[in-house]
A = this chain, B = another copy of it.
Amino acid sequence: MKEIGIGLLGFGTVGAGVVEGFLRNGDLIAERLGIRPVLRSIADLDLDTDRGVEVPRELLTTDAAAVIRDPSVDIVVELIGGTTVAHDLIQQALAAGKPVVTANKALLAAHGEQIFALAEERNVDIYFGASVGGGIPIIRALREGLLANRIRRIDGILNGTCNYVLTRMETEHLPFATVLADAQSAGYAEADPTLDIDGYDAAHKTVILASLAYGYWIPLEAVHVEGIRHVEPVDIGYAADLGYRIKLLGVVNRTGDEIEVRVHPTLVSRDHVLASVGGVFNAVMVRGDFVGDTLFYGRGAGREPTASTVLADIADVARNLASDAPRRVASLPRSENPFKTRSMDEIDSRYYLRMAVLDKPGVLARIADVLGTHGISIASVLQKEAKSGEIVPVVMVTHNAVEGAVDAALAAINGMDITGAETVRYRIATGIV
């Protein structure tokens, strides 16, 4: 059987998962593939930590450049992460004419255009299936399985940490900080959780999905990002009363010649499949003009799920090498002209609003009047009984409205003498059912 040499850069969680994949399922992979991928070399600065997998010491090195130069290495697998060292090494590999498999979403979101141009110039493959959705074969589905479709929208639960925190906040009625601390001690959240919690990781993945859908690199700066740090149990509770769950969604929405690319906590109807995605699981809904709505669900992170996708990418590149057909599938198939990115002011959505207002006669009428003046109509109102003269929460769900108008109305309402605190506002997933 033909052998293809693999060089691994980075022997962390996912790297160890890939090694375990070769150890446990190597024969199965070779049999299915008709080619045997052979691990030739692993580079990491730390050669001593026990990763729970047996590797002959002579495969290990601290010299990543040597792995790339090694003539027995046919495919370079970058699992270091980050945007500095990994960026250099991927460029070295591509410049040396070696195909690359990477799971590095942060790097691609920042430098994908330059990296992909280099790969194209050198006529070598770059596969990045594990950069979005961990074990979910979503990149493959979007690029190959749904190739015949114009993509209308994508709605993704793309960060397992956020989904875990929101799920536990809902089921156990706990505040954000408590669940986050718990998640950190259980290993579901990083010591520095900023990248996850504040939505940046989901934004990286959303940019990759959007770019793949539309065939050009969408700049990370074009993405509107809000995280889940400010989500309060009280709003999760009201949302539940109204039939919704709060999820951190990455949204890509095309209408006409404009696209929206945004990441924010969103109310999702409890009847929608996305709402049933709990805990650390991820899911991506893709709407195509032919296929309609599809959804892809699974573990979005972790050693073995991510390794599953890295191994599938290695298999694809190995096939391309064996049949001497590099770049069989373009890394980012060109398809549509760049669109204008719609500003957040102009997006159209339904909204959840929680106001804190004085409970006295005429207050609701004044609020409704301000909303009406801004062209916003109310779909439902939730108000609990309270003593007259107290500040009470009033929760409203609007019909579709333009965000700029909603923000203008809320600025007016927040400035009124009957208002006791800043109005809380969430977008409601619109048009996904």
A-to-B contact residues, CB < 8 Å: 17, 21, 24-25, 28-29, 31-34, 129, 135-137, 140-141, 144-150, 215, 271-273, 275-278, 283, 288-299, 304-305, 307-309, 311-312, 315-316, 319, 323-325, 328-330, 333-336
What chain B residues lie within 8 Å of A304 (beta carbons)?
Answer: 290-292
Q: How far is the CB of A218 from chain B (nearest CB, A)?
A: 17
Q: Which of B272, B288, B298 contacts A291 (CB 8 A)?
A: B298
Tell me whether B309 and A145 are in contact (CB under 8 A).
Answer: yes
Q: How far is the CB of A339 from chain B (nearest CB, A)?
A: 14
What chain B residues lie within 8 Å of A150 (beta carbons)?
Answer: 25, 28
What chain B residues lie within 8 Å of A33 (beta carbons)?
Answer: 147, 333
List 20 A-B residue pairs with CB atoms under 8 Å apart, sorted by A's residue number: A21-B290, A25-B289, A29-B148, A32-B333, A32-B334, A33-B147, A137-B140, A137-B294, A140-B140, A140-B144, A140-B145, A147-B315, A148-B307, A148-B308, A271-B276, A290-B304, A291-B299, A293-B297, A295-B296, A325-B325
Q: How far is the CB of A190 from chain B (nearest CB, A)?
A: 21
Q: How far is the CB of A398 from chain B (nearest CB, A)?
A: 26
Q: Which of A34, A272, A276, A298 neighbours the largest number of chain B CB atoms within 10 Å of its CB?
A: A298
Q: Which of A144, A291, A319 neighbours the largest number of chain B CB atoms within 10 Å of its CB?
A: A291
What chain B residues lie within 8 Å of A283 (beta carbons)?
Answer: 295
Tell me whether B308 and A149 are in contact (CB under 8 A).
Answer: yes
What chain B residues lie within 8 Å of A325 (beta carbons)?
Answer: 319, 323, 325, 328
